[in-house]
Amino acid sequence: MSADVGTGIRLDKWLWHARFFKTRTLAAKLVGQGAVRVNSVRVTKPSHTVRPGDALTFVAGERVRVVVVTAIGERRGPAPEAQALYEDQSPPPPERAPRSPSFDGGGRPEKKDRRALDALRRFPS
């Protein structure tokens, strides 16, 4: 079954083909919640047809993704094949905060520093 330029594909199926979601059910669930926009219009039906040139906006993981459909795709292939199905116009991801906000990069305190900390803990002011 070959998909030519004039035809379309279900939105949930295209999101799954393009590897934005692990399962088609997850893609359909997101679309059903109204969390996907096609050409700036909110879509709530997973069966909505998308065609090359359509712009999709949705949240995947912790990022807002903005992609333009460039091809339909015939199967859910490997990642390089999936990346050829769209043009990514997403804003750059936000910078991540360090996992431990108290970590200053100094490493473990030296013996002298540990003794000073122990002395403070023994005799509170």
Q: Is the pLDDT of residue 4 over 60?
A: no
The pair phi, psi for residue 121, each rounded to 5°, is: -70, -35
- Identify the CATH assignment for 1-93 out of 3.30.390.30, 3.40.50.2300, 3.10.290.10, 3.40.980.10: 3.10.290.10
The model's pTM: 0.70
% of the chain residues with pLDDT over 70: 86
SS3 of 15, please?
helix
User: Given this model, what pLDDT does residue 73 score?
Assistant: 87
Average pLDDT in the chain: 86
